[in-house]
Amino acid sequence: MKITYLEKNNILKTIILNQMKRTLICLFAFSGIFANPQLDDMGEITIKAVDSSLSGILSILADESGYNIVTGPNVNSSERITINLVDTPIDQAIDMIVRAAGLSYEIQGNSILIANADRLNSDVGISSHVIPLKYANAEDVVGLLANITEKITVDKAGNNLLVTVSPKKLAEIQTIIEEVDKPAIQIMLEAKLIEVALSNEDKEGIDWAKLSELTTIIAESGVPLQLDTGGETASLLPGSSFSTSTEGLVTETLTPQAFQQLPSEMYFQRITGKNAGFSRQLTAFEVTLDFLMKNNRADILTNSQVVTLNGHEATISMVDVVPYILSSGGLGGQVQVQREEIGIKLHILPTVNTDGYITTSVRPEVSSIFEFIGPDRNIPWVKKRQSTTTIRVMDNESIIIGGLLSLDKKKVEHRVPFFSSIPFIGERFFRHSSEIESKTDLVIQITPKIIYDNYSGINKNPFHIETENKSITYGLDVDDNKSAKKKTKKSDKKKKEK
């Protein structure tokens, strides 16, 4: 093959190029040429040029890449560059050569436009376009496109974008929207707040309320038990055996349980050995639950479930709004009504990572009124317990947060009607007061779970798919059948009336 080039001394020379390597001022090799190639599919090229003209090198690149190369009027064709590229992809070679000359380029179809950066960035053929969004919020997408153009209007009702740009910038915007406008992953958050209290009580006086309590323990599901004296029938405790003495006393023997194994039944102690009928059976679960809730004072403040999108904050709020009045000045002063939210607030921000883990930011806040202050004692003194943490957990793995301690004091007084009003005697014998100092610890348990579906790239559970198929297959048919039956009934009524 022959090629003609212009040397430094402006003498035209023609040389014969080898089919494997072409030597001009350049040596290069290439592979994979197609009719309408992409720059990143053109293979590699080797170019060695010393003080060569830019137009000559661009001409060679145009021949080997299969692209048309158009240069702007501000491109100096006599400008010379020196390059040495070995086995370099053609797209990278074009990029480096153009940038080395201080120019920019733009690809349109199968042509490459090379010109000054200011000229390429100038908007040509500006027109308005409406871009609909399926999943992404239009107001959020505007912030992502701010660097491309400022001529963007949001249609909130239809969740559309109205852009006024050139075809070049429109292509860039559409490329970004294709990557952004995808259904977001949904996450279910199971939040449980448990307040564990340990109270110390100081009591004074006589507690007459004890007289109102009377507990009787009776036998349940009695098993016949024949005693030697009198032939009485009594209740035998499950899992026990018995023996009677010559005096008629009943002795029960319980079967011991294995280590770390809960008994299947619990029981109250017998009053006497002979009186075997006074007992009550309780299961181990009931006893354990009663022990936990009463002795440790574990109160479940909230047990909520909320679903949020990936990267969006979810808030669980259980508060009471306490209004109070603030006045300024004298009689003619202004009066303002202020409000204070008292209760529990829980802010959760989950983010699903590419490896399936969930990075969760948690900010709990618990507030209570300590007392009322101010001249009129109407301004609430609010105590707050809050914490902020970020943790990375697996799907369906619980997060436990504790240590939000609080100390409260309150005084409780019980009185006997009428008698408590008697001077001196009523205060001594018919009143009972107690001062309770409670120390509470707030324990927070949060379990994030990814909701699986076919839209956000995560497959649904078989149960969900089966349920949806049933609702689609049968739900619509049932409605259609109902409407059809209603129509036939109406037509029958009309016929009868006629």
Predicted confidence at residue 350, as pLDDT, reads: 92
As a whole number, mean pLDDT of residues 52-79 equals: 77
As a whole number, mean pLDDT of residues 38-64 equals: 74
Better-scored residue on pLDDT, 386 or 285: 386
CA distance 270 to 217: 10
Predicted confidence at residue 307, as pLDDT, reads: 87
Residues 6+ apart with CB under 8 A from 160: 130, 131, 132, 133, 138, 154
Tokens representing 119 are: 């000229």
Element (H, E) at 308: strand 298-309
Beta bridge partners of 385: 366
> Would you call 65 exposed, middle or buried from its count of C-beta atoms within 10 A (0-12, 13-18, 19+)?
buried
pLDDT exceeds 80 at position 484: no
Q: What does the pLDDT look like over 314-363, one tens digit per residue?
A: 988 888 888 888 776 666 667 788 888 888 888 999 998 888 889 999 88
Same CATH topology for 44-121 and 127-182: the answer is no
Pick the range with the lowest mean pLDDT from 88-97, 234-243, 272-281.
272-281
Q: What does the pLDDT look like over 184-208, one tens digit per residue?
A: 788 889 888 887 776 554 444 444 4
Predicted confidence at residue 451, as pLDDT, reads: 84
What is the percent of the chain with per-residue pLDDT over 70, rounded to a whole number?
58
pLDDT exceeds 60 at position 278: no
Q: What does the pLDDT look like over 75-104, one tens digit per residue?
A: 766 677 788 888 888 888 888 888 887 787
pLDDT exceeds 70 at position 31: no
Helices 90-100 and 54-65: crossing angle in degrees, nearest 10, is 160
What would the DSSP string read from start to end of 383-399?
EEEE--EEEEE-TT--E
| pTM for this model (two decimals) | 0.49
Pairing of strands 111-115, 68-71: parallel
What is the percent of the chain with per-residue pLDDT over 90, rounded to a whole number?
1
pLDDT exceeds 50 at position 450: yes
User: Which CATH number fits the domain 127-182, given the four candidates 3.40.1160.10, 3.30.1370.120, 3.30.2270.10, 1.20.1250.20?
Assistant: 3.30.1370.120
**Cα 228 to Cα 59, 117, 243, 248, 264, distances in angstroms:** 121, 113, 10, 6, 30
Architecture of domain 44-121: 3-Layer(bab) Sandwich (3.55)
- SS3 state of residue 192: strand
- Give the start-to-end residue ranges of the domains of the chain: 44-121, 127-182, 289-472
